[in-house]
Amino acid sequence: MSDRTAEKTTEKVGEKPATKPVYVLNGPNLNLLGLRQPEIYGRETLADVAAALADLAEELGLAVRCLQSNHEGQLVDWIHEARLQGAGVIINPAAYSHTSIAILDALNAYAGPVLEVHISNIHKREAFRHHSYVSGRAEGVIAGFGTEGYLLALRRMKTLLAKT
Ligand code: DQA
C-alpha cells in the first residue's frame, strides 16, 4: 500500500478538523444597513452581507461568525472572545472607528490578523471620519467598495491565514 492510500484510508468521512471562525464584527447603526442612508451605504442588509460571507467562507474553506452591536463594550468583549476562538478579525467599527481607544486596545491584545472595512470611502466624507484608531492596528483597510468590501476582506483574510 502506498503512503498516499494509507493516508486516505485513515481519514474518517465527515470528520473535519474544527476550523476557528473569522470574526466579522460590525459596530453601531450597521443593524440598519439597507435602511439607513442608502445613498451612502446601499440597499443590502446586514443579513444579506452575512449570507454572502457564509457562502464565500464555504468556498474558501473558512468559517465566519458575523456579529453586530451598538455597544462599544460588547465589541470589546467579542474581540476578547476572538483571542481564544477566532482565526482572524474583520471589523467595521462604524462610528467607533473615529473615537474608540478601547476597541484599539482590545485589538492590540489580539494576536491574529485584523482587517478593517468601511462601506463608504471615509476619506471622501467629513473630516472627522478621516482618522480611524483601528487603522493603526489593522493589517489592511478597505473603504469605499460598498458591502463588497467585506467579501474582499475575507479573501484577503484567507491569504493572510495561509501564511501563518
Ligand atoms: C462606516 C463609516 C463611519 O464613518 C460611519 O460612522 C459608519 C459606517 C462605513 O462603513 O462606511 O457608521 O464605518
Q: 110 CA distance to ligand 1 centroid (A)?
A: 23
* C-alpha cell of residue 104: 484599539
Task: Check if 23 is active-site.
Answer: no
Residue 5, number of CB atoms within 10 A of its CB: 9
Going by pLDDT thresholds of 50, 70 and 90, the confidence category of residue 43 is very high
CATH homologous superfamily of 19-163 equals Dehydroquinase, class II (3.40.50.9100)
Give the residue, out of 46, 68, 97, with the most ligand 1 atoms within 8 A of its beta carbon, to mutate for a pocket test: 97
Q: Is the pLDDT of residue 139 over 70?
A: yes
User: For 130-153, what is the mean pLDDT?
Assistant: 98
Residues above pLDDT 90, as percent of the chain: 87
Q: Which of 23, 118, 133, 150 is catalytic?
A: 118
Task: Name which of 161, 155, 141 is nearest 55 in CA terms.
Answer: 155
Strand 22-26: give its sheet, edge to edge.
64-68, 22-26, 88-92, 114-118, 140-143
Predicted confidence at residue 149, as pLDDT, reads 98
Report which DSSP code applies to 94.
G
| Whether this model's pTM surpasses 0.75 | yes
Question: Residue 4: its pLDDT value, please?
Answer: 38
- List all residues whose CB is within 6 A of at least one atom of ligand 1: 29, 92, 94-95, 97, 118-120, 122, 129
Q: How far is the CA of 132 from the centre of ligand 1 (A)?
A: 10
- Between CA 79 and CA 94 the distance in angstroms is 15
Q: Catalytic residue among 41, 96, 133, 150, which?
A: 41
Q: What is the pLDDT of residues 84-124, one digit of tens each?
A: 999 999 999 999 999 999 999 999 999 999 999 999 999 99
Q: Whose CA is nearest to atom 9 of ligand 1?
A: 118
Rounded to an integer, what distance in angstroms lies between the CA atom of residue 88 and that of residue 78? 12
